[in-house]
Structure 1
Amino acid sequence: MYNNLFLPEGKYLGDIITKLPANKIIYKYLTGCGATHLEIFCNRWSIIVEPYIPVILGKQWKEVQTNDGLEIIRNLDVLPIYEKTKTDDIIDFLSSKRDKYKLVTTPEGMKKIIDACDELGIDVYQKFFLLVDECEKLIQDANFREGIIQVMNYFFKFKKRSFISATPLAPSDPRFAEHQFEDFIITPETMSKMPIDLYTTNNIASTLRNYLAKNKNEHYLIFINSTERIAAVITFLKIQEESQVFCSKESADILIANNIRDATEHWDKGKFKKYNFFTSRFFTAFDLKVDGKPNVLIISDVVNVAHSVLDAQTDIIQIAGRARNGINHLAHITNWDASLKSVSALEVKAYINGLKDGYYMIKQLRDQSNNNHNSGTYFVLDEALRTCSFNKFLNKTTMDICHFMIDNDIHANRIRGYYKSRNYIINSYDEAGRFLVNHIPENYNLEDKDLDRLKKGLSRTLAMEHICELFKMYADVEEQTPFTLNINFAFIDLIKTHQTKYRYFHELGIEKIRELKFNEKKIEEAYKLSKIKNSDSYYKLMFSFLAIFNEGRKLTGNQIRKYLNIYYEKHGVKLRATIKQLGEWFEISTRTTIYYKEDGTEVKGYTIGRPKNGIELRKPFRH
């Protein structure tokens, strides 16, 4: 099988080949060359894995030429599969008569497909071709999105499968070599470099104003990998009425709570405004079809948001290719931070190998203790094993080494390294080899690290108030109609979107949250304390304290903190060892002289009083 293909200018892949090749890592180099379009319309059963929901929803539509012109209609051969899709939906789709079945899914949706095929007696591994699109995302997102690599639990079981991307990162997983995978290169016949203005600045706010003054256009596509920075830009420029944000539902809810009302999780051309902001879920694979040619602006504010670093070899190329009708101008505004931590790939591998050696040493000791029937030792070593840092690099399903997590660590260190200086950023573009860079350095007396002009655009307190009050409203409705059969999908969706805030609400209640004035830090501390108080560990701790802190006992501050730390550790309770904390449980005198040493030196401390709040131990912990 040939492993190179030249794509003539103006042609799509479907004009050259009828199907994508199997058992390959396909480097297509061009965004928008019709690779996934070819797979959707070719004559075979396919599963296409896409990284983000907007991409999946976009693939269910097709363009049809009618007498009235070009019309966009649903493609009935395609089923989008994401969080809201149920296994029964897939079963129904596969049960209907069709010439071909096209399942476009998130990586997390693979299990639903496998379960549906099992239910119908379909040999999914033989019947379907599996294509993982934008395959670099399995490496880039592995650290913060555990489910994205779930597809690899099934990938090599398929008889025919491939990776594909315009910007792939070579995976180190040895299974690709074991299954004799090869690189398949699609090279454009003419490949010109993309012009880009690269602004390196020590003051993002001033450079942003400068850019907008010099590069006027009717529409801007602005890509920032931080909702907080998007809000900051909109607030700083005072463009609320002219701005639309496309982001996750959770981010949209928070923005709306902060009076940035035009925010949505789904692309809608009808909502297009002058300034259109996009978070990372729209950076890759998504087709933005808009009228005219917008300016594309990318902002990386690494001084304030470290994860806003972007890779010129992957992210920037993908962003530049989102507007399918072409762009007017491409620019990247970025600062840098010399304190960003990064190490070489060799150092990452050496560190991970050290973690692995330690992990397996503890595992061996644990297993030996089990053979010796020493349950106490086994428990301690098993606890140690479960808290080992190496767990991060294990597949949670198979407990094999997850090479994608290792690749992620190497990749993240490489990208952070680029943003440690102005010259390193320029070098990253040179290494990509895909851009014609016009470097515009800007220096200001006031720097981002000192300047507060581009303030945080989001109030966490306001977001907490808005969402928790919604929880209270929905909860009150359910309480008033306890026997209704109508499911409150809005409430369920709100809980799913804001799970952490719902845990706070469920544990503490709205009155306590209001008492804490919706302060996220105070609420989090109160939540932790409440969970501890309702645990067996807390009652064991109180049992110990009632024996130690007897009424009338005099102790120094150091003695109190020492006792607290000893018993916190003994009972696995994570709280601060302070006099104030002990005062939550016992009456305590003010600090005063409690006795004198033989030489007459006075010793200051506290007298313990009665237990507070009617501390009463449950029966299992009483004498």
Structure 2
Amino acid sequence: MDNLPPIIGYNVREQELWELKFSDNARHCHIFHKMVRDGVQINGQLQLERGIPRFYIKIAVEDLPSAISVWLTPEFEKFLLCYLFTGHNEGFPTYLKPLEIPKPNPDSDYFYKHIKRELERDAAIFRNEEQDGIKGTHVMAKYPFGSIDYGFFPLTQADLLATLASTTPYVYSFVATAIPDLQNNKLPIEERDIAAGQHLDAVFKEIPTNTIIDKTICGVGATWLEIHSKRNSIIIEPNVPVIIGKEQQHPNIIGVYGETMSAAMVKQRISEQTGPVKLMTTPDSYPKVINALKQLRIPYLQDYFLLFDECEKIVAEVDYRQHITLPIDDFFKFANKAMVSATPIVIDDPRFEEQEFKIIKIRPTYDYSKELELKPTNNVEVMLKQTLNSLNMEDTPICIFYNSVQGIKELIDSFKIGDYTNVYCSTEAQRELHKEGYKAFDSVTDKSGKTVLNKYNFFTSRFYSAVDITLDYKPAVIMITQVYKVLPNQTPYSLIDPETEAIQIVGRFRNGTGKITHITNTNSKMICKDKAELETFLREEHAGFHKLLDLRKTLTTQGEICVLDQAIERVEYKRLGFVTDKGEINYFRYNNAYLDERLKMLYRYPAILHKAYCRSGAFKVVSKAEYAAYTDNDRKVLDDKTKLKSERITLLFSIFSRICLSSKSYDMEFLKELQREYALYYDAYNTIGLRKVRELNFVDSDVRTEIKRAKFLKRAKEKSVINKVYAAFAPNTVYKTSEINSRMKAIFDSYSIEYDRRGVGNSIMLYFEATEARTGTKRTWKLGAKKFQSVT
């Protein structure tokens, strides 16, 4: 093909070649579209083919080509760069039409302009290389969500840089998206190796003081090590089920939580204990433990080691569990203390640095990562049902982690699986669910310490960490995130952090898991602040709050002080716990707000979430996006009665149109559901259309009347009906009105056509030019010419 003329279209063989190229391009664009919807990294090589830029992408996925290429028209090039910089996948360009050949780019500096851009953003990577005996430079550049390989240039680096010096860079307007760091501190890190099968007792004999132990993996025995250490300990666990499970495994533990044990009982148990005292408590019950120790005159700050287990919970849950930070001030007063977690979140509280804390990072010397299927979607319920059907696990239980009791109820009712489902949640939620007839539990073990699961098992965040679920089989684990079931300006409770909660969830199963899946939708419209914006905002709020406190000092009357005190108590900054009772910054609440903003950012696009999972190191991620014609956001809008009826019905017509173009079985199932729920407007969609509904101002009664009229006209104008009318009546003839009525009724009844019995005679005007006359009591119709041709 090298001998073909350079001008496209002058040679038949060349035309055939380009037709083949178009066929490949359409197929490759489809694959490329799926890749960006999946949210995977896009790593490709930029080439010029007859002056037309093409982007070649290698693929290591079964049932797909080993590589694809797409023509980089200006629209595709802009989209590609936007995706590589930001992970945004909206606005995918339309494919080229058949035989619409892209215009060659005549700019000889095309590559150099791109490389100059990479150089200016400090992302260009130059590597000395030799090809076919020619020495030169290979150039590539990294992006947040992929890379571009520019290939080999027969120039030394010095010559290439000299050429770039006078080159104008390719213009772009994208700000690179950097995934916010999980950690927010500058503590020193000390790494310790651990081999497969080893536990923490192989690393150190007891947990060292003033440390934060990053276990990396769950179940390596940090709590076990402290329980068996030869010292008195207070171990703080985030939730009650953890303590119940540990008590069953270790009878020497004094578990303090809820109303199960009074301060007097705690005091008695401590007094009776032989050997090291091991107190295990929730943050809420911590004061009860300290009161007992004080009454016994025990110098607990010196005599006890304080361990805060699953320490990320202090930050992650402080927004709705403000008591979780009750032990924090005491924590820094203990002579010996530590925090531990497989996924610690270490905040920038200055007391950590003042007391010279360090992080001990446990580094497995083996591959501990697990395969995880990330399933971005726009309809979580549909994809959960698809996933459950595809698992086909027969009698093996399935464990579903979803932090929404209301959402869990909706899924159970929708799937009609109540008889085969357990819900594991808080004690309060358990009581409410029991009243409504659901099988709910606040512990995964019975009194004997055994865990017996149902076919389907839903877990709220109470069971995301610390709890040991010991089974003699490996259940499938499904995590669910639903970004749309949320109040305005609120972070969805079901967001799962890939670098903390996902790791903890999978780590609950001490004997391993089967398939791991995370089904989630994303919302590009979620508004989030970056770290700098949030810090500025919170510091401004803190300054404003202290101005209120300063103002209070200037007031002299009781009435003024009373009013201002009421105002201070109602200030959201205080009410939400950003400030302590002493008026100081609550660093845990500050960091919690940062985590909220970070999470919202992760769930804006699948690519960002995918990258966060990869960065965790705990998972080998396979992303398989699947999208329904009817989305979670659609459902939210349709259910929102505050929206204008016209807006909701317009959306409904759009949904009907999308579903009718789909061949997916789950879309058809939703169509049936919508038909039942919106029967009138599904009827309108199929008969009169949205324009007519708009003309009728979305008034149900008028829409219903118009649908009846449209259906009647459609049936009445069928060829067989027309022929029968023309067989019954002759043109240019006068008939009695009663005769017209009786004959027309008989014809319509014979075809089961619904009609208005009060005006059936008037329907003759559909078929003839006709006028009605009245002479005294006599009424007649004079029929003129036919309006249709008879059809045989």
TM-score by length of 2: 0.54
| TM-aligned CA deviation for residue 397 of structure 1 | 4.3
Match of 2:221 in 1: 34
The higher relative CO (CA closer than 8 Å, separation ≥ 6) is in 1
Match of 2:573 in 1: 390
Aligned CA distance change for structure 1 residues 453 and 331 (closer, same or farther; 3 Å):
farther
Match of 2:412 in 1: 234
Equivalent residue in structure 2 for 1:409, among 568, 588, 593: 593
What do residues 303-352 of structure 1 show as CA deviations (whole Å, max 9, x unaligned)? Answer: 12421111001010000111111111100000112232311111111111
Equivalent residue in structure 1 for 2:348, among 172, 175, 196: 172
- The answer to whether the aligner puts 1:256 opposite 2:443 as a matched pair is no
- The answer to whether the aligner puts 1:441 opposite 2:625 as a matched pair is yes
Aligned CA distance change for structure 1 residues 41 and 359 (closer, same or farther; 3 Å):
same
Which stretches in structure 1 are left out of the alignment for 5+ residues?
63-74, 457-623
The one-letter amino acid paired with 1:48 is I
Q: For 2:474, what is the secondary structure of its paired residue?
A: coil
For 1:454-473, list aligned pairs within 5 A. none
Aligned CA distance change for structure 1 residues 454 and 136 (closer, same or farther; 3 Å):
farther
| TM-aligned CA deviation for residue 375 of structure 1 | 4.1
What do residues 524-551 of structure 1 show as CA deviations (whole Å, max 9, x unaligned)? Answer: xxxxxxxxxxxxxxxxxxxxxxxxxxxx
Match of 2:279 in 1: 103
What do residues 227-256 of structure 1 show as CA deviations (whole Å, max 9, x unaligned)? Answer: 111111211221111111111122122222
Match of 1:363 in 2: 549
Q: For 1:284, what is the secondary structure of its paired residue?
A: coil
- Identity of counterpart residues, as a percentage? 32
Residues in 2 aligned to 1:2 and 1:418: alpha-carbon distance in whole angstroms: 26
| TM-aligned CA deviation for residue 386 of structure 1 | 2.8
Residues in 2 aligned to 1:406 and 1:59: alpha-carbon distance in whole angstroms: 32
Equivalent residue in structure 1 for 2:204, among 17, 21, 26: 17
Q: For 2:254, what is the secondary structure of its paired residue?
A: strand
| TM-aligned CA deviation for residue 379 of structure 1 | 3.7
Aligned CA distance change for structure 1 residues 284 and 2 (closer, same or farther; 3 Å):
closer
Aligned CA distance change for structure 1 residues 76 and 345 (closer, same or farther; 3 Å):
same
Residues in 2 aligned to 1:194 and 1:383: alpha-carbon distance in whole angstroms: 53
Match of 1:265 in 2: 442
- The answer to whether the aligner puts 1:207 opposite 2:383 as a matched pair is yes
What do residues 254-304 of structure 1 show as CA deviations (whole Å, max 9, x unaligned)? Answer: 2223332x1111213454111111111100011001121110111111112
The one-letter amino acid paired with 2:224 is H
Residues in 1 aligned to 2:462 and 2:189: alpha-carbon distance in whole angstroms: 34
What do residues 189-242 of structure 1 show as CA deviations (whole Å, max 9, x unaligned)? Answer: 213322100110111122112111222221111110011111112112211111
- The answer to whether the aligner puts 1:351 opposite 2:537 as a matched pair is yes
Q: Check the 8 A contact 2:485/2:636 in 1, yes or no.
A: no
Match of 1:56 in 2: 243
Aligned CA distance change for structure 1 residues 120 and 102 (closer, same or farther; 3 Å):
same
Match of 1:136 in 2: 312
Q: Check the 8 A contact 1:236/1:455 in 2, yes or no.
A: no
Q: Check the 8 A contact 2:189/2:358 in 1, yes or no.
A: no
| TM-aligned CA deviation for residue 390 of structure 1 | 2.8
Q: For 1:126, what is the secondary structure of its paired residue?
A: helix
Match of 1:8 in 2: 195
Equivalent residue in structure 1 for 2:466, among 285, 293, 313: 285
Residues in 2 aligned to 1:50 and 1:455: alpha-carbon distance in whole angstroms: 40
Equivalent residue in structure 2 for 1:313, among 479, 492, 499: 499
Q: Check the 8 A contact 2:311/2:340 in 1, yes or no.
A: yes
Aligned CA distance change for structure 1 residues 130 and 454 (closer, same or farther; 3 Å):
farther
Match of 1:471 in 2: none
Aligned CA distance change for structure 1 residues 453 and 229 (closer, same or farther; 3 Å):
farther
| TM-aligned CA deviation for residue 87 of structure 1 | 0.8
Aligned CA distance change for structure 1 residues 334 and 394 (closer, same or farther; 3 Å):
closer
Residues in 1 aligned to 2:435 and 2:551: alpha-carbon distance in whole angstroms: 52
Residues in 2 aligned to 1:83 and 1:211: alpha-carbon distance in whole angstroms: 38
What do residues 536-587 of structure 1 show as CA deviations (whole Å, max 9, x unaligned)? Answer: xxxxxxxxxxxxxxxxxxxxxxxxxxxxxxxxxxxxxxxxxxxxxxxxxxxx
Q: Check the 8 A contact 2:252/2:278 in 1, yes or no.
A: yes
Match of 1:304 in 2: 485
Match of 1:157 in 2: 333
Match of 2:371 in 1: 195
Residues in 1 aligned to 2:231 and 2:511: alpha-carbon distance in whole angstroms: 30
Q: Check the 8 A contact 1:199/1:331 in 2, yes or no.
A: yes
Match of 2:14 in 1: none
For 1:435-514, list aligned pairs within 5 A. 435-451=619-635
The one-letter amino acid paired with 2:435 is A
Residues in 1 aligned to 2:328 and 2:622: alpha-carbon distance in whole angstroms: 40
The farther-off stretch of 392-401 and 118-127 is 392-401
CA RMSD of aligned residues (A): 2.1
Residues in 2 aligned to 1:194 and 1:169: alpha-carbon distance in whole angstroms: 22
Aligned CA distance change for structure 1 residues 190 and 270 (closer, same or farther; 3 Å):
closer
The one-letter amino acid paired with 1:21 is P
Which stretches in structure 2 are left out of the alignment for 5+ residues?
1-187, 487-491, 641-792
Q: Check the 8 A contact 1:393/1:403 in 2, yes or no.
A: no
| TM-aligned CA deviation for residue 134 of structure 1 | 0.6
Residues in 2 aligned to 1:105 and 1:352: alpha-carbon distance in whole angstroms: 32
The one-letter amino acid paired with 2:193 is F
Aligned CA distance change for structure 1 residues 453 and 337 (closer, same or farther; 3 Å):
closer
The farther-off stretch of 350-359 and 385-394 is 385-394
Q: Check the 8 A contact 1:232/1:454 in 2, yes or no.
A: no
Q: For 1:171, what is the secondary structure of its paired residue?
A: coil
Aligned CA distance change for structure 1 residues 82 and 399 (closer, same or farther; 3 Å):
farther
| TM-aligned CA deviation for residue 92 of structure 1 | 0.7
Q: Check the 8 A contact 2:613/2:621 in 1, yes or no.
A: yes
Residues in 2 aligned to 1:234 and 1:384: alpha-carbon distance in whole angstroms: 44
Match of 1:515 in 2: none
| TM-aligned CA deviation for residue 357 of structure 1 | 1.4
| TM-aligned CA deviation for residue 452 of structure 1 | 7.9
Aligned CA distance change for structure 1 residues 403 and 266 (closer, same or farther; 3 Å):
same
Residues in 2 aligned to 1:453 and 1:382: alpha-carbon distance in whole angstroms: 40
Match of 1:336 in 2: 522
Residues in 2 aligned to 1:245 and 1:387: alpha-carbon distance in whole angstroms: 36
Aligned CA distance change for structure 1 residues 105 and 157 (closer, same or farther; 3 Å):
same
Residues in 2 aligned to 1:405 and 1:191: alpha-carbon distance in whole angstroms: 35
For 1:85-96, list aligned pairs within 5 A. 85-96=261-272
Larger radius of gyration: 2
TM-score by length of 1: 0.68
